[in-house]
Structure 1
Amino acid sequence: MSAPEEVIFLLDVDNTLLNNDQVVADLREHLTEQFGTTASDRYWEIFETLRSELGYADYLGALQRYRLERQCDTQLMLMSSFLIDYPFATRLFPDALAAIAQMRKVGPTVILSDGDVVFQPRKIKQSGLWDAVEGRVLIYIHKERMLDEVVQRYPAKRYVMVDDKLRILAAMKQIWKERLTTVFPRQGHYALDPANIAAYPPADVTVEHVGELATMDLSVL
C-alpha cells in the first residue's frame, strides 16, 4: 500500500459531473419516436423494476428484459445503438472538467460511482471523465458500502466527496465522520427534490453548480 495522500477528491458522475437527467430525457424521446408511447412506457416500467431489484440504474439490462417481450422486433438494435453511441461528452455540466483540474491541484481525483459493468464505464470513458481523473475509476453497486475498499485502493488522511445525493453524503459522513468533507451540488432531480433535502442533514458545503468548484479555493476543504 502506498503512503496516504493528504486529501483525495471522490467524485460521483450522474447529475454531479454529467447531466444524466438530460440523457434520460433524450432516451425517452428516442424510444417514443422509434417505438411509440406504449413501448416506451413499458421499457421504463421494466427499468424501474430492475433498478429496485439491483439498487442501481441498468439501462442495457432493462433493454435485455424488454427484448424478451419483443423478440421479433429487429428495431431493438437501434435502441442499443442509441445508448452505446450516445455523445456523453456533450452532457458534461459546464466547467466540470475545469473543476476536476482545480481539484487535482490539491489532491488526486477519483471517480466513485454506482452502476453496471458495461454502460457506466462506457459513459465515463466517452464523456472524457476517465481521462480527466487519469483512470482512477471505481464503480460499485452501493458505493457507500464500499468505503473500506476505497481506503485500501486510495489511502488518504482526508477525503472530499462530491455528490448530488444527500443520502449518499449522509451515509458516508456517518462512517468517516470528520475524515470526510461532503460537497453537495444542487443539480438534477434528486438534489432539487424538497423531500430528499428534508430527509437528510445538509452537506458541509453546498454549491449550485459543480462548475463553481473550478474557481473555488479548494484547500479550505
Structure 2
Amino acid sequence: MPAQHQLVVLFDVDNTLLDNDRFGDDLADRLESLFGAEQRARYRKFYEEIRDKAGYADYLGALQLFRTGLDDDPKLLEMSHFMLEYPFAERVFPGALEVIESLKSFATPAVLSDGDVVFQPRKVQHAGIWDAMGGNVMIYMHKELVLDSVQRRYPAKHYAMIDDKPGLLAKMKKVMGTKLTTIFVRQGHYATDAEGKVIDPAPDVTIERIADLLALDEAAFHSGESARTAG
C-alpha cells in the first residue's frame, strides 16, 4: 500500500501550468494558413463536438475527423507534425516549474489533469512538467469523478488542488470537504468566463498567476476551512 503523505498538492495543466490558450491560437493560425478559414472552422466544429460529448479536449481526435475528404492532401501530415512536436516547454507559465520544485520541501506535488490518453501525456512530457513532478502524473477523462482513486494512489492527510476553473474546484470541494484546499488561479479563458458568477463553495485561496504560489507559506495549502487571497 502506498505510504501516506502529509500534504499532496495537485495541479491542473492547461492554463494552470502552461498557456494552453496560446497553443489553441497557434493551432488555429496553422490550420488557416494551410487549409484556409473555412477548414479551420470545420476543425473547430469537430473539436467542440468531441469536447461536448466526451467532456475533455481531444485535439488528435478532432484531426482524425478533419482528415475526411482531405486524405490526398499532404498538408495533413504537416498538421500532425505541428501538433506532436509543438514546443510546449515555451508555453509553461513563468515560475511554474519553480513552484513545483519549491513545494517539494513540504509536500508531494502531482499533476491531476483531464484529457485524452495520448496527446495530453505528450504535452506534459514535452513541457518538462512530467520530469518536474518526478513522474507523479494522473490524467483522467473527468478528474472530479475519480477523487477516491486519486486518494488511493496518493494517500495523504490533506490535499490542495490548483486549477483555473473555479466551478470544477467547487465540485471537488463538495466531495472532499475540509480535506481539500481549493486554489483558484485566474489565468486563461475559463477563469475569465467565471468572472461575475457565483461559485459555491468559493475557492479557499485565489491567486492571479501560478508564480504567486511562491509567496504562500505551507499553512495556506492547509486553509481548507477559511478563504484566503494572495495578490
Q: State whether structure 2 residue 49 is matched by structure 1 residue 45.
A: no
Aligned partners of 1:11 and 1:143: how far apart in 2? Answer: 11
Aligned partners of 1:3 and 1:141: how far apart in 2? Answer: 26
Alignment check: 8 A CA contact 2:187 2:208 kept: yes
CA change 1:60–1:113 in 2 (3 A) is same
| Aligned-partner residue type, residue 115 of structure 1 | G
Q: State whether structure 2 residue 184 is matched by structure 1 residue 209.
A: no
Q: 1:46-68 CA deviation, whole Å, 9 max, x = no partner?
A: 11011111111000000001112
Q: Compute the displacement of 1:3 (Å).
A: 3.0
Map of 2:228 onto structure 1: none
Aligned partners of 1:196 and 1:154: how far apart in 2? Answer: 35
Alignment check: 8 A CA contact 1:17 1:93 kept: yes
| Aligned-partner residue type, residue 62 of structure 2 | A
Q: State whether structure 2 residue 137 is matched by structure 1 residue 137.
A: yes
| Aligned-partner residue type, residue 178 of structure 1 | T
CA change 1:199–1:182 in 2 (3 A) is closer
Matches of residues 161-200 of structure 1 in structure 2 within 5 Å?
A: 161-194=161-194, 197-200=197-200
Alignment check: 8 A CA contact 2:21 2:189 kept: yes
CA change 1:162–1:56 in 2 (3 A) is same
Aligned partners of 2:160 and 2:199: how far apart in 1? Answer: 22
Structure in which a larger fraction of residues adopt helix: 1
Alignment check: 8 A CA contact 1:32 1:39 kept: yes
CA RMSD of aligned residues (A): 1.3
CA change 1:11–1:196 in 2 (3 A) is farther
Map of 1:122 onto structure 2: 122
Aligned partners of 2:9 and 2:86: how far apart in 1? Answer: 27
Q: 1:172-197 CA deviation, whole Å, 9 max, x = no partner?
A: 10010000000000000001114674
Pairs aligned (count):
221
Q: 1:116-171 CA deviation, whole Å, 9 max, x = no partner?
A: 01100000000000001100100000000001110111100100000001121011
CA change 1:196–1:90 in 2 (3 A) is farther
Matches of residues 1-221 of structure 1 in structure 2 within 5 Å?
A: 1-194=1-194, 197-221=197-221
Q: TM-score, normalised by structure 1?
A: 0.96
Q: Which structure is higher in RCO with an 8 Å CA cutoff and minimum separation 6?
A: 1
| Aligned-partner residue type, residue 6 of structure 2 | E
Secondary structure in 1 aligned to 2:198? Answer: helix
Q: Compute the displacement of 1:199 (Å).
A: 4.7
5+ residue gaps, structure 1, are none
Aligned partners of 1:3 and 1:137: how far apart in 2? Answer: 17
Alignment check: 8 A CA contact 1:102 1:215 kept: no
Q: TM-score, normalised by structure 2?
A: 0.92
| Aligned-partner residue type, residue 124 of structure 2 | I
Q: 1:70-111 CA deviation, whole Å, 9 max, x = no partner?
A: 222221111111000100000011100111112211111110
Aligned partners of 1:139 and 1:113: how far apart in 2? Answer: 5
User: After TM superposition, where is structure 1 displaced by more than 6 Å over at least 4 residues in a row?
Assistant: none
| Aligned-partner residue type, residue 42 of structure 1 | R
Aligned partners of 2:123 and 2:109: how far apart in 1? Answer: 18
Alignment check: 8 A CA contact 1:191 1:197 kept: no
Map of 2:229 onto structure 1: none
| Aligned-partner residue type, residue 6 of structure 1 | Q
Aligned partners of 1:107 and 1:199: how far apart in 2? Answer: 27
